[in-house]
Amino acid sequence: MSLVSNGSPGSAPPLVAAAHRLAESGELRSGILAIDGPSGSGKSTFADALAARLAELGRPPLLIRTDDYATWDDPASWWPELESDVLAPFGRSHDVTYRPRTWYDGAAHPGPVQHLRWAPLMILEGVTAARQAISSRVARALWIDGPDAPQRLERAVGRDGEDQRELLAAWQRFEEGWFAVDRTRERCQIVRY
């Protein structure tokens, strides 16, 4: 099944169409689907469209975002918390209870407890979602191949605000190094739009 969509770069409809095609293919039934790629590439758009379409088809997945854990100061080493909160219970077919980060006074804090009912399919979306540490447990890994870095930065600034530009640019530098060392893209099926 092709996950290449025609359309202008950065447009949501082709990416949403690709997500709907994947949901409708019947290929996603159980396990962990990791959706990775650089910030501003369209990962959240794809994951949201996929989860919504799967729910419409009677197969609602769990949707977990790495942004629920990552912070500017801790972009990747929070993984053990995700393992214990989410991945371990999911692997035992148990419900998931975790505390996504909330932001106030410029800092991240554990937010209110979230309780999600177990489902046979989990979508893990965000930067580092398809990291080497989880590759043996992932049923499928996708890489959202969005526009170039300057365009992605503008998209992220448009989403998060001009006051976040410096932090988002630093995040892009982190991602570039992370992906080079982890070689994430090499393990993923590429989604182009």
Flag whether pLDDT at 184 surpasses 80.
yes
Helix or strand holding residue 15 (H, E): helix 12-24
The mean pLDDT of 19-40, rounded to a whole number, is: 96
The identity of residue 47, as a single letter, is: A
Q: What angle do CA 35, 119, 69 make, to 5 degrees?
A: 45
CA distances from 114 to 34, 70, 86 (A): 20, 17, 11
Residue-wise pLDDT for 78-118, tens only, equals 999 999 999 999 999 999 999 999 988 878 889 999 999 99
pTM as predicted: 0.92
Domain 12-71+121-192: CATH architecture, name and number where available: 3-Layer(aba) Sandwich (3.40)
Q: Can you tell me the distance from the alpha carbon of 9 to that of 104, in angstroms, rounded to the nearest whole number? A: 34
Q: Is 22 exposed, middle or buried (0-12, 13-18, 19+ CB in 10 A)?
A: buried
69 band by pLDDT with thresholds 50, 70 and 90: very high
pLDDT, averaged across the chain: 92
List the chain domain ranges.
12-71+121-192
pLDDT at residue 136 above 60?
A: yes
**DSSP element (H, E) containing 43:** helix 43-56
Tokens of residue 91, six digits: 């692997």
pLDDT number for residue 11? 47
Q: Please give the DSSP secondary-structure letter assigned to residue 132.
A: G
The answer to whether residue 32 scores a pLDDT higher than 90 is: yes
Q: Please report where in the chains the tokens 């605000």 appear, as a residue.
A: 161
What pLDDT, on the 0 to 100 scale, is given for residue 174? 96
Mean of pLDDT values over 143-171: 94
pLDDT tier at 193 (50, 70, 90 boundaries)?
confident
Mapped onto helix, strand or coil, the DSSP state of residue 180 is helix
Look at residue 178 and tell me whether its pLDDT is greater than 70.
Answer: yes
Local structure of residue 87 (DSSP, 8 states): I
> What is the pLDDT averaged over residues 5-25?
77
Q: Is the pLDDT of residue 6 over 70?
A: no
Q: How confident is the model at residue 10 (pLDDT cuts 50, 70, 90)?
A: very low
Judged against a pLDDT cut of 90, whether residue 192 lies above it is answered with: no
